[in-house]
Amino acid sequence: MPLVSFRDVEKTYRSLQGVDYHAVEHFSLDIEAGEFFCLLGPSGCGKTTVLRMLAGFEAPTAGEILMDGRPVTGASRDRAVVFQGDDSLYGWLTAIENVEFGLRMRRVPKAERRERAMRYLDLVGLTGQAQKYPAELSGGMKQRIQIARVLANEPTMLLMDEPFAALDAQTRALMQEELANIWQAERTTVLFITHDIDEAVTLGQRIGVMRAGPRSGVKGVVDVALNGARNRTDDTFLAYYRQVYAMIRDEVAAAIARTR
Ligand SMILES: Nc1ncnc2c1ncn2[C@@H]1O[C@H](COP(=O)(O)OP(=O)(O)O)[C@@H](O)[C@H]1O
Ligand SMILES: [Mg+2]
């Protein structure tokens, strides 16, 4: 049984003018436990909509989303979300206190939560920054602390919505490498959303390509048979890049045409 199943999911938004917008329709997808799944699609195709429904922040208009065979009915600690911005850290708490926050809420004893928080700060390479406040840290560091904070809660699944989009190119490449290492170590199931082909081929074990909206769904899924550290200049990497590019090219053109 897959960990997550989207079955014929549909989401329709009603605008303030009372007009319906069919963002996604007949969206079906299975995600296996332990896999790193990238969902790729042009801007506005409905990626965030899909993630928010799986997170339980919004209900589908039709169809169903199952996790472990049970319908998703609301938000849960099982499904931790990392958004694009890096502003969800508490400014009055230090890095380590931010990472500990969820554990404190769950009344995990102090010594144990410190130890767990340190382990995850270490995993994201920020042991030395534990006592700093968010205002003293760079955007990349803050994003790493957000990731450490969700990992400390040991979720079944990580939902990441373009988490590195706001970072500069060098920091982004570094963060991708780090996330790949973390995933190798932890094997937490990841749904990673991006509009960037390079990022998808760098991170994904499988890449689901979405069509342009309205009524977007999954156009196809590409298996990426690359393991360990991936090299953007390898022929196999470039072959996957081309394959995905060929799938998404027309969708990007359609998305641009729609918003003209
Ligand atoms: N709350 C909302 N109300 C109305 N329309 C929305 C709402 N959220 C998203 N949409 C529309 O649904 C489509 C998909 O949005 P979104 O899921 O954010 O796309 P993506 O994340 O792929 O850029 C867009 O056309 C967007 O304008
Ligand atoms: Mg989005």
Render each residue's pLDDT in the chain as its tens digit; 260 residues: 999 999 999 999 998 888 999 999 999 999 999 999 999 999 999 999 999 999 999 999 999 999 999 999 999 999 999 987 657 899 999 999 999 999 999 999 999 999 999 999 998 889 999 999 999 999 889 989 999 999 899 999 999 999 998 888 988 898 899 899 889 988 999 999 999 999 999 999 999 999 998 999 999 999 999 887 788 999 999 999 999 999 999 888 888 888 77
Ligand 1 atom closest to Cα of 42?
A: 22
**Does ligand 1 have an atom closer than 6 angstroms to the CB of 47?**
yes
Domain that holds residue 117: 89-154
How many angstroms does the Cα of residue 83 sit away from the middle of ligand 2? 9
Please tell me the distance between residue 44's alpha carbon and the centre of ligand 2 in angstroms. Answer: 7
List all residues 6 or more positions away from 144 whose beta carbon is below 8 Å from its beta carbon.
124, 125, 126, 175, 178
| Residue 13, ligand 1, Cβ within 6 A | yes
Report how far ligand 1's centroid is from the alpha carbon of 250 (Å).
20
Could you tell me the two tokens for 159? 């939902």
Last residue of a domain, one of 154, 177, 205: 154
- 16 and 130 in a common domain: no
Task: Check pocket membership of 53 for ligand 1, CB cut-off 6 A.
Answer: no
Residues 178 and 236 in one domain: yes
Range list of H helices, the chain: 47-55, 95-105, 110-123, 139-152, 169-186, 197-203, 235-259
Domain count, the chain: 2
The Cα–Cα gap between 180 and 166 comes to 19
63 and 124 both lie in a single domain:
no
Q: How far is the CA of 104 from the centre of ligand 2 (A)?
A: 31
The CA 187 to ligand 1 mean position distance, Å, reads: 30
Are both 95 and 200 inside the same structural domain?
no
Q: What is the largest CA-CA distance in the chain?
A: 57
Rounded to 5 degrees, φ, ψ at 70 are: -110, 140
Cα separation of 65 and 45, whole Å? Answer: 19
Cα–Cα nearest to 200, from 8, 6, 67, 47: 47
44 within ligand 1 shell (Cβ under 6 A)? yes
Residue nearest to atom 25 of ligand 1 (CA): 44
CA-nearest residue for atom 3, ligand 1, is 13
Domain boundary among 154, 185, 211: 154
